[in-house]
């Protein structure tokens, strides 16, 4: 299956500051790829490089297996940082400009404005819109001409909860159309709800990447309650079933070795004649996972 | 290319600042030539009305219009500065324009404004020329009309310089201030360091020399160049004006500087992050 985007050993420095360091990642078709990281981790720089507004110092990237040129960008809907439009033009005229650049049919403007609920404001000047409306207008520009790939940098930035929900709904709708979406976000809950894959950046480097599900379940702790917690702990350590194990009263918090599951612990305890009162896998949120990673 | 042109028209025409500066440019030029036409200082042998007659008007109107080229350059700086302050150059690249298309848009704008100013001066020259002239013979009517094209090159050159400064500084106010300072103070001071013959080759000097001060004394006296009487009333003969380079040389220099300004702007657009 052809990759939509391949980034190889990408680096970018601003003077002595390293914005992106040796970044390598692949995005496949239909992936909703989240780029996470604290402020200054290189998310926006990475997206700016792949959308052509910043040149990388070293490394390369390829869209659809091709060397990048302006023509390729016409088929990628991108929104980097804040919405950029002419403040003195109305929404229709601003979108006319975008549609002409992308070589898309001007008639599609009506569709995208209705999609983001801005049709009623189509004749308003851009500078009269609220921040949320501006963000939605930027999304409508991204969706012009139904591009197969969307690149979104903080799409819910500055939006109220209702606005965030609206943006999420739009992204989910696009995901259902099997579009590839690459998005940087601070809102981890959003990423968890929307993304299929994720890369976590710290100081410009990728410190973790993979499927969201795998990343979340990789080291989820198993919680065990039993009368013989001390004996069970010793047996588990002896058998090498855990990466780490903590005991507090009758409760054990076990981070399992690779390939082991809560079921294995249950069978193991049974084989040792230990009765378990309670057994559960505690799911970590992406947020706690993220905080652990970037610490 | 069509999308570049249509987009440039959309964003330029709807911009209030553009309309204000264009109206100001038109009104100021019209007012100056109109007011000056009503003030005839006539003493025996001299008349300022001669300025409005063919072929002198071909020299006089482009010279007056050249005073307002600064406005055209400021207009280009504002329109280019807008692209940086609204971050729309950046957005255009994200949406699929190449850097050369960004340049083409502004080059088209410069050309359009140049054509507008050319047509404006042509219109006023013809209207005032026919009102004030009595000699419509072919020679008098066409003679010196080439200066209008020279004026066109001058307007393009000034606007290209403005465009380059706007791309260089990415800040409208700074670019305008530096353009004016360079034009009025910095280059004249630098020129003083050089020998007189070298001073004529500086960018602003060679561009402004395209529409030199008309020979008022010989025009007022009604004498035409080439006669002994005209020569005796020439500012240059009297040592009041420095020698200029031939128009053709100034034209080549101005076109050369225009190419340099545009090429440097393109280089900056290519090399820098947006």
Q: What is the pLDDT of residues A144-187, one digit of tens each?
A: 999 999 999 988 887 888 888 888 888 889 999 999 999 998 77
Question: What integer pLDDT is reported at residue A283 of this predicted model?
Answer: 73
Q: Do A188 and A69 belong together in one domain? A: yes
**CB-based contact (8 Å) between A126 and chain B?**
no
In which residue are the tokens 């305008």 written? B176
Which of A2, A10, A69, A70 is CA-nearest to residue A35? A10
Mutate to test the interface with B, among A72, A84, A94 (most CBs of B within 10 A): A84
User: Measured between alpha carbons, how far is A175 from A211 in angstroms, rounded to an integer?
Assistant: 16
B91 Cβ contact list (under 8 Å, min separation 6): A84, A85, A98
- Give B98-136 as a DSSP string: -HHHHHHHHHHHHHHHHHHHHHHHHHHHHHHHHHH-S--
In which domain, by residue range, is A242 found? 218-294
Show which of residues 137-176 on chain A sit within 8 Å of chain B, judged by CB atoms: 141
**A158 and A236 fall within a common domain:** no
Q: What are the tens digits of pLDDT across the range A50-107?
A: 999 999 999 999 999 888 787 889 999 999 988 999 999 999 999 999 999 999 999 9
Which of the two residues, A11 and B137, has the higher pLDDT score?
Answer: A11
Of A178, A194, A216, the one marking the end of a domain is A216
Structure confidence at residue A189 (pLDDT): 78
Please, which residues have CB within 8 angstroms of residue B74's CB and are 6 or more apart in sequence? B21, B162, B176, B179
Euclidean distance between CA atoms A23 and A35, whole angstroms: 12
Q: List pLDDT tens digits, range A107-150.
A: 999 999 999 999 999 999 999 999 889 999 999 999 999 999 99
Cα separation, B54 vs B142, whole angstroms: 8
B3:A55 CB<8 A: no
ipTM for the complex?
0.86
Instruction: Beginning with the edge strand found earlier in the chain, give each strand of the sheet holding A76-79 in spatial order.
Output: A76-79, A149-153, A180-184, A32-36, A197-202, A205-211
Residues of B with CB under 8 A from a CB of A: 3, 6-7, 10-11, 14-16, 82, 86-88, 90-98, 101, 273-274
DSSP for residue A124: S
Interface test with chain A among B85, B90, B93, B94, by most A beta carbons within 10 Å? B94
Of B7, B15, B82, the CB nearest to A101: B7
Q: Domain containing A165 — which CATH number?
A: 3.40.50.300
Q: Are strands A276-281 and A205-211 parallel, antiparallel or unpaired?
A: unpaired
Q: Tell me what the mean pLDDT of segment A39-54 comes to.
A: 92
How many Cβ pairs closer than 8 A exist between chain A and B?
76
Q: What is the Cβ-side half-sphere exposure of residue B113, based on CA atoms within 13 angstroms?
A: 35
- pLDDT at position A208 over 70: yes
What is the structure's pLDDT at B42? 67
Average pLDDT over residues A180-199: 86
Same domain, yes or no, for A267 and A139? no
Closest CA to A10 of A34, A46, A35, A38: A46
pTM > 0.90:
no
Write down the pLDDT at residue B241: 56
- Tell me what pLDDT residue A260 has: 80
Q: How far apart are the C-alpha atoms of B167 and A54, rounded to whole Å?
A: 16
The whole-number pLDDT of residue B39 equals 82
Inter-axis angle of helices A91-102 and A108-115, nearest 10: 120
A87/A194 same-domain check? yes
Q: In this predicted structure, what is the pLDDT of residue B229?
A: 45
CA–CA distance, A23 with A60 (Å, rounded to integer): 10
| Cβ-based contacts of B273 with chain A (< 8 Å) | 48, 53-55
Which residue among A178, A200, A216 closes a domain?
Answer: A216
Residues of chain B short of pLDDT 70, as ranges, are 42-46, 137-138, 216-243
Instruction: Give me the count of residues in chain B.
Output: 274
Chain-chain contact of A93 with B14 (C-beta, under 8 angstroms): yes
What is the three-class DSSP state of A79?
strand
Give the model confidence (pLDDT) of B35-66 as tens digits: 988 887 766 666 777 888 888 899 999 999 99
Q: Which residue of A has its CA nearest to B9?
A: A97
- How many domains does chain A contain in total? 2
Indicate if A20 and A161 belong to the same structural domain: yes
The enclosing domain of A287 has a CATH number of 3.30.70.980
Residues A180 and A224 in one domain: no
**DSSP sequence for A206-257:** EEEEEEHHHHHHTTPPEEEEETTHHHHHHHHHHHT-EEEEEEETTEEEEEEP
Domain boundary among A181, A216, A251: A216
Q: Best residue in A53, A74, A141 to probe B by mutation, most B CBs within 10 Å?
A: A53
**Residue A127: both structure tokens together:** 């500078």
Of A70, A80, A89, the CB nearest to B96: A70
**CA A227 – CA B265 distance, rounded (Å):** 78
In terms of domains, do A54 and A198 share one? yes
């Amino acid at each position: 299956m052809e990759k939509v985007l391949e980034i190889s050993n990408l680096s970018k420095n601003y003077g002595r500051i390293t914005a992106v360091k040796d970044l390598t990642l692949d995005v496949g078709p239909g992936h909703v790829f989240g780029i996470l990281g604290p402020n200054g981790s290189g998310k926006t720089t990475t997206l700016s490089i792949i959308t052509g507004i910043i040149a990388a110092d070293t490394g390369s990237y390829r869209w659809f297996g091709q060397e990048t040129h302006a023509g390729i960008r016409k088929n990628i809907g991108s929104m980097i940082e804040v919405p950029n439009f002419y403040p003195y033009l109305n929404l229709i005229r601003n979108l006319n400009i975008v549609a002409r650049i992308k070589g898309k049919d001007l008639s599609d403007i009506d569709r995208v404005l209705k999609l983001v609920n801005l049709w009623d404001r189509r004749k308003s000047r851009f500078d009269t819109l609220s921040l949320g409306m501006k963000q939605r207008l930027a999304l409508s520009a991204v969706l012009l001409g139904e591009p197969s790939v969307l690149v979104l940098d903080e799409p819910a930035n500055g939006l109220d909860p209702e606005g965030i929900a609206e943006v999420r709904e739009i992204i989910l709708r696009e995901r259902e159309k099997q579009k590839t979406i690459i998005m940087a976000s601070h809102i981890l809950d959003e990423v968890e709800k929307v993304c299929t894959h994720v890369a976590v950046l710290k100081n410009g480097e990728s410190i973790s990447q993979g499927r969201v599900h795998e990343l979340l379940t990789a080291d989820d702790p198993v919680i065990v309650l039993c009368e013989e917690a001390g004996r069970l702990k010793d047996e588990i350590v002896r058998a090498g079933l855990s990466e780490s194990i903590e005991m507090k009263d009758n409760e054990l918090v076990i981070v399992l070795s690779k390939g082991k599951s809560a079921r294995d612990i249950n069978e193991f305890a049974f084989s040792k004649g230990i009765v378990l009162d309670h057994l559960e896998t505690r799911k970590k949120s992406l947020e706690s996972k993220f905080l652990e990673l970037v610490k | 290319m069509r999308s570049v042109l249509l987009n440039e028209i959309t964003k330029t025409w709807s911009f209030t600042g553009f309309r204000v500066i264009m109206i100001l440019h038109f009104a100021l030029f019209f007012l100056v030539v109109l007011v000056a036409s009503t003030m005839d200082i006539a003493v025996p042998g001299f008349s300022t009305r001669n300025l409005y007659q063919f072929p002198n008007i071909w020299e006089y109107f482009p010279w007056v219009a050249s005073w307002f080229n600064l406005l055209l350059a400021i207009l280009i700086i504002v329109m280019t500065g807008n692209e940086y302050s609204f971050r729309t150059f950046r957005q255009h690249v994200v949406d699929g324009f190449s850097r050369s298309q960004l340049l083409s848009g502004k080059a088209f704008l410069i050309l359009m404004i140049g054509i507008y100013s050319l047509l404006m001066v042509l219109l006023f020259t013809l209207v005032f020329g026919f009102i004030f002239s009595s000699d419509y013979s072919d020679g008098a009517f066409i003679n010196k009309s080439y200066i209008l094209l020279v004026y066109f090159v001058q307007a393009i050159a000034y606007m290209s310089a403005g465009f380059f400064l706007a791309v260089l500084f990415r800040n409208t106010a700074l670019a305008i201030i530096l353009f004016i300072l360079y034009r009025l103070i910095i280059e004249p001071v630098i020129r003083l360091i050089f020998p007189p013959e070298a001073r004529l080759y500086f960018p602003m000097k060679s561009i402004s020399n395209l529409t030199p001060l008309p020979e008022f004394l010989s025009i007022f006296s009604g004498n035409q160049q080439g006669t002994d009487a005209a020569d005796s009333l020439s500012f240059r003969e009297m040592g009041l004006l420095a020698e200029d380079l031939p128009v053709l040389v100034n034209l080549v220099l101005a076109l050369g500087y225009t190419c340099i300004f545009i090429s440097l702007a393109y280089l900056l657009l290519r090399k820098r992050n947006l």
